[in-house]
Amino acid sequence: MNPEKSKTANTPEAEPAPTLNTVPMWLFGALFVLLCTGAIYFDARGGWFDARVYQPYVRPPEDFQPRDPGGENLGAGKRVYDMACAVCHMPSGLGNPGVHAPPIAGSEWVVAPGPNRLIRIVLHGLQGPIEVAGKQYGAGVMTPFKDVLSDQDIAAVLTFIRMNPEWKHKATPVTPAQVAKVRELTKDRGSVNWTAAELLQIPESD
Ligand code: HEC
C-alpha cells in the first residue's frame, strides 16, 4: 500500500465540493446552428428516402403491359383451358387430328358475335359433322362439361378462347350470368351432345 496516496485520499481537500458553474451561452448558440444546418442538409437530400420516390408516375411502354386487351382476367380462363380443353384441342389451340378435335384458334364458332352456341357446346358436348375454318370434322366426340365446370369456369374459359391475343381473337367476353341462363334453359337436356346442325338453329347472340 502506498502511504502517500492513502493520506491524500483522506484529506478533506480531496473531497469534491459542490460549486455553482453557469453553462456558457455560446454552447446553446453552437448547438442551435448545428441542428439547423443538419436539418437543412437532411431536407435538401430527401431525408433517407431515395429521391426517385418523388418522381411522377410514368406509364410503362405497351410491351410491359399485360396482354389483356379487354381488361379481362384471361389467366383464370387459361388455367381452365389447360386443364379441361388442351388435352384434345392442344395448348396451341390448333386441334388434334388424333382425336378429330378441330382447331380453336381461328375457328368461326369461337369468335362468333355471341356465346350462345359456345356455352351449349361446353355444357353438353358435341358430335356429328361440323365445318370449322373451311374443313370438315365429325369423327370425334366432345364430352359434356356441365357437371365438371362451374358457370365461372365456363365463362372464364370461353372469355379466354374468344379474346386470346396469341390467336388474334378479339370477340366479346362471356359472363357467368350468360352461362347460368343457358344452363337453366337447357337443364332438361341431360348429357345429350349437340350436333352442329342443331346449334345452327340457335341464334349466336341474344
Ligand atoms: C375429349 C376431347 C375434347 C375435349 C376435352 C374438349 N373438346 Fe372441344 N371438341 C372436341 C371434338 C372432337 C370436337 C368436334 C366434335 C364434332 O366433330 O362434332 C370439338 C369441338 C369444339 C368446338 C366447336 C368447333 C371448334 O373447334 O370451334 C369448340 C368451340 C370446342 N370444342 C371447345 C372446347 C372447350 C372450350 C373445351 C374445354 C372446356 C373443349 N372443347 C374440350 C373434343 C374435345
Q: What is the pLDDT of residues 32-59, one digit of tens each?
A: 999 999 999 888 877 766 666 666 666 6
Nine cell digits for residue 57? 408516375
Residue 71 confidence (pLDDT) above 80 = no
Q: Return the ligand 1 atom nearest residue 143 CA.
A: 1
Q: How far is the CA of 185 from the centre of ligand 1 (A)?
A: 21
Q: Return the ligand 1 atom nearest residue 154 CA.
A: 38
Q: pLDDT higher for 74 or 68?
A: 74
Work out the average pLDDT over 62-81: 70
Q: pLDDT higher for 195 or 69?
A: 195
Q: According to the model, what pLDDT value does residue 103 have?
A: 98
Nine cell digits for residue 94? 390448333
∠205-86-73 over CA atoms, to 5°? Answer: 55
At residue 112, what are phi and psi to the nearest 5 degrees?
A: -55, 160
Nearest protein CA to atom 42 of ligand 1, as residue = 142
Nearest protein CA to atom 40 of ligand 1, as residue = 85
Q: According to the model, what pLDDT value does residue 114 have?
A: 96
Q: Is 194 exposed, middle or buried (0-12, 13-18, 19+ CB in 10 A)?
A: buried
Work out the average pLDDT over 9-15: 65
Distance CA 12, CA 190 (A): 112
Which element (helix H / strand E) includes 167? Answer: none
Q: How far is the CA of 192 from the centre of ligand 1 (A)?
A: 15
Residue 65 confidence (pLDDT) above 60 = no
Nearest protein CA to atom 41 of ligand 1, as residue = 85
Give the domains, in start order, of the chain with CATH numbers.
Answer: 72-199 (1.10.760.10)
Query: Under 8 Å CB-to-CB from 1, ≥6 apart: which residues?
Result: none
Q: Return the ligand 1 atom nearest residue 158 CA.
A: 35
Nearest protein CA to atom 8 of ligand 1, as residue = 142
Pocket of ligand 1 (CB under 6 A): 84-85, 87-89, 99-104, 107, 109-110, 118, 121-122, 126-128, 130, 132, 137-138, 140-143, 145, 157, 161, 196
Distance of alpha carbon 204 from the chain centroid = 30
Q: Is the pTM of this model over 0.75?
A: no
Q: pLDDT higher for 54 or 205?
A: 205
Asked if 100 and 137 touch (Cβ cutoff 8 Å), the reply is: yes
Work out the average pLDDT over 132-141: 96
Q: How far is the CA of 102 from the centre of ligand 1 (A)?
A: 7
Q: pLDDT higher for 143 or 14?
A: 143
Lowest mean pLDDT among 12-16, 23-27, 28-32, 60-64: 60-64
Asked if 116 and 185 touch (Cβ cutoff 8 Å), the reply is: no
Q: Would you give the end-to-end CA distance of the chain in angstroms? A: 112
Work out the average pLDDT over 107-111: 98
Q: According to the model, what pLDDT value does residue 1 have?
A: 47
Percent share of the chain, pLDDT over 70: 81
Q: According to the model, what pLDDT value does residue 45 have?
A: 75
At residue 136, what are phi and psi to the nearest 5 degrees?
A: -90, 135
Asked if 94 and 160 touch (Cβ cutoff 8 Å), the reply is: no
Work out the average pLDDT over 19-38: 90
Residue 5 confidence (pLDDT) above 60 = no
